[in-house]
Structure 1
Amino acid sequence: MTRVTLEIDAQLYRLLKLSAETNHLSLEEECCRRLEGGERRSRYLQALLAELRAEDEQRRAKSR
């Protein structure tokens, strides 16, 4: 399993955590909900996902 370390804004983290608690979800579930087009689309999470996908593509290209 690949381990990913993310640096995020402390305020964003608190907001995500609060939203997860409000929706009775884990932090991971809240992030996935937002990425799947939940009530509030998060441009930050979409950009983060795009960056992670690009890094994964680069890793795959190097291993070929």
Structure 2
Amino acid sequence: MHRLVIEVEAQLYGELLEAAQGNRLSLEEECLRRLQGVQPHSRYLQALLAGLRADEEQRRASASDQLA
């Protein structure tokens, strides 16, 4: 299992917590839902997801180069 630690501003944390409660989800489930693209309203989360995807692509390319 991978672990991801995200630092967020207090306002965004409050908004995520409120959305989680409104959707009857845990905070973790709400974050995962947004990161999976179900409701990417936050520009911050969109940027974070784009960065994570870029890192993963770079990791895969690096692993592929090492195998060749």
Same topology, TM > 0.5: yes
1:9 is matched with 9
- Structure 1 residues 54 and 9 mapped into 2: Cα distance closer, same or farther (>3 Å)? same
Q: Counterpart in 1 of 2:55?
A: 55
Give the C-alpha shift of residue 51 in structure 1: 0.8
The structure that has the greater radius of gyration is 2
1:36 has 2:38 as partner: yes
What is the TM-score when the length of structure 2 is the normalising length?
A: 0.69
Identity of aligned residues (%): 56
Distance in 1 of aligned mates of 2:34 and 2:55:
22
Deviations, residues 23-60 of structure 1 (Å, cap 9, x unaligned):
211223323157313xx722221111111111111111
Give the deviation of 1:2 after TM superposition.
2.4
Query: C-alpha separation between the residues in 2 aligned to 1:27 and 1:5?
Result: 13
| Structure 1 unmatched ranges of 5 or more | none
Give the number of equivalent residue pairs.
62
Q: Which runs of 5+ in 2 are unaligned?
A: none
Give 4+ residue runs of structure 1 displaced > 3 Å after superposition. Answer: none
